[in-house]
Amino acid sequence: MILHLYQDRDTYVFALTNDRTGGNLPTKEDTRWVFRETLDPVQLAWGEDHFKQVYDAIEAEGFFIFVGQFLPRH
C-alpha cells in the first residue's frame, strides 16, 4: 500500500493516509496538514511488516496519526 505522509504545520504531529489529497485527515480550527512525501513501505529499510498497526488504523479510520520528526530522505 502506498502511503502519503502529512505534517500538521510546524508541529511534530504527522499522519499517514492512502488518500493522496489528505482530504480524509481530521482537522480542528488550527490544523493545517502539509504534504511531505509519498512512501512505499515495501522499499523502506525496515520493511512492510512493521506497518501492520498503520494499515489497521487506515483500514478502520482512513489515517494513522503519530508524533515524530521529519527527516527528508535524499
pLDDT tens per residue across span 21-38: 999 999 999 999 999 999
pLDDT of residue 73: 65
Q: Residue 1 above 90 pLDDT?
A: no
Section 48-69 average pLDDT? 88
Q: Per the structure block, which three cell numbers stand in for 12?
A: 511534530
Q: CA nearest 35: which of 21, 45, 47? A: 21
Section 44-73 average pLDDT? 82
DSSP 11: S
**pTM as predicted:** 0.83
Helix (H, G, I), strand (E, B) or coil at 49: helix
